[in-house]
């Protein structure tokens, strides 16, 4: 007889609220779940329908608690599931809900411990159970990009260094280092405004004349034009203590052989449209480089966390855990 369900759940009536949530989460993860509340109708013969569920499920879950081990119905279902597991007809997975003395044969099987599991821990346990029901194994860890140091090494790997450059109309703040650094902003010079105009012409009106302007003999060239804009932005907004601190950060990232990521937090609407990705330090700190990206404003972060496309397992009944949404570095 072909299997119809991925899992048959055996549990005590006293645990039904918790089991209802577990079954729903497994269902949402794509598993076909036999649960008496879902599969037995008013016209069905109870024992016949339970027999069908046991015979046509690929796996069985026994929710272990003092109430379930004292239930005659659960003990009967456990005996049937254990018999089928010994004969190799399905897998039997104990789910430990509360402290209880398990029968020896049941205790010999690997169980999934949900005692005191809440929040992200509960979510991880549900996913672990789903993998076990599918017959998946954890497998080895992902292959890293770099070799691992030997045991007892004094070396400690360092991840990316994250800095944030907060730019306002009159003040510049560098955040993320040992201490925050700030300095006044300089006014934009006329040469920068001219270079920005030339860049706008190249972007919005790519005519043959613009091509000559950017690439012809004696012309700046597009790459050189972008470098000039970056130099002018650096002199206007980075010259001073911020440039010194950022140069030191690049040197430290070079020493540690790790990347430095600089997030741009533009607080002035009049400055937001400038090509900040071209920003260059007035003083070159050496061979190191800092990828520049725009930091996501908090209003956009709030909207992105509500976007569709992510399904999170529901918390168990009676949970005190509340999601605070995903955390981001800025």
Whether the per-residue pLDDT at 153 is higher than 80: the answer is: no
Confidence of residue 327 (pLDDT cuts 50, 70, 90): very low
- The string over 81-114, giving b where at least 16 C-beta atoms fall within 10 Å of a residue's C-beta and e elsewhere, is bbebbeeeebbbbbbbbbeeeebeebeeeebbeb
pTM: 0.46
Kindly state whether residues 189 and 114 are assigned to the same domain.
no
246-274 pLDDT, tens digit each: 888 888 888 877 888 888 888 888 788 78
The whole-number pLDDT of residue 102 equals 86
Whether the per-residue pLDDT at 300 is higher than 70: the answer is: no
User: Does residue 190 form part of some domain?
Assistant: yes
CATH at residue 63: 3.40.50.10140
User: Does residue 311 form part of some domain?
Assistant: no
Confidence of residue 152 (pLDDT cuts 50, 70, 90): low
Kindly state whether residues 295 and 166 are assigned to the same domain.
yes
Domain that holds residue 90: 7-133
Whether the per-residue pLDDT at 20 is higher than 80: the answer is: yes
Kindly state whether residues 88 and 182 are assigned to the same domain.
no
**CB neighbourhood size of 180 (10 A):** 12
DSSP class of 5: B
190-242 pLDDT, tens digit each: 888 888 888 777 766 555 544 444 443 344 467 788 888 888 888 888 878 88
> How many domains does the chain divide into?
2
Kindly state whether residues 23 and 124 are assigned to the same domain.
yes
Give the position of tokens 């119905």. 73
């Amino acid at each position: 007889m072909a299997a119809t369900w991925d899992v048959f759940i055996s549990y005590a009536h006293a645990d039904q609220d918790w089991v209802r949530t577990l079954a729903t989460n497994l269902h949402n993860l794509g598993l076909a779940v036999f649960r008496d509340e879902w599969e037995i109708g008013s016209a069905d013969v109870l024992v016949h329908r339970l027999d069908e569920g046991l015979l046509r499920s690929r796996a069985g879950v026994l929710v272990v608690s003092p109430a379930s081990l004292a239930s005659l119905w659960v003990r009967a279902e456990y005996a049937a599931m254990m018999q089928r597991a010994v004969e190799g007809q399905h897998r039997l997975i104990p789910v430990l809900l509360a402290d209880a003395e398990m029968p020896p044969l049941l205790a010999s099987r690997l169980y999934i411990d949900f005692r005191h599991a809440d929040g992200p821990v509960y979510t991880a346990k549900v996913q672990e159970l789903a993998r076990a029901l599918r017959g998946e194994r954890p497998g080895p860890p992902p292959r890293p990009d770099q070799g691992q140091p030997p045991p007892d090494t004094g070396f400690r790997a360092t991840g990316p260094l994250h800095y944030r450059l907060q730019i306002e109309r009159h003040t510049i703040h560098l955040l993320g280092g040992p201490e925050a650094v700030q300095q006044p902003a300089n006014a934009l010079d006329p040469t920068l405004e001219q270079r920005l105009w030339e860049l706008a012409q190249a972007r919005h009106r790519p005519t043959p004349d613009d091509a000559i302007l950017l690439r012809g003999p004696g012309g700046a060239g597009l790459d050189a034009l972008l470098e000039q804009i970056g130099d002018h932005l650096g002199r206007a907004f980075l010259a001073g203590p911020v440039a010194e601190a950022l140069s030191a950060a690049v040197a430290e990232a070079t020493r540690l052989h790790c990347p430095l990521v600089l997030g741009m937090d533009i607080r002035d609407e009049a400055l937001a449209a400038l090509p900040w990705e071209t920003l260059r330090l007035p003083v070159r700190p050496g061979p190191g480089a800092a990828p520049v990206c725009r930091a996501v404003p908090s209003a956009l972060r709030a909207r992105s966390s509500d976007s569709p496309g992510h399904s999170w397992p529901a918390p168990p009944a009676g949970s005190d855990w509340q999601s605070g949404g995903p955390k981001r570095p800025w």
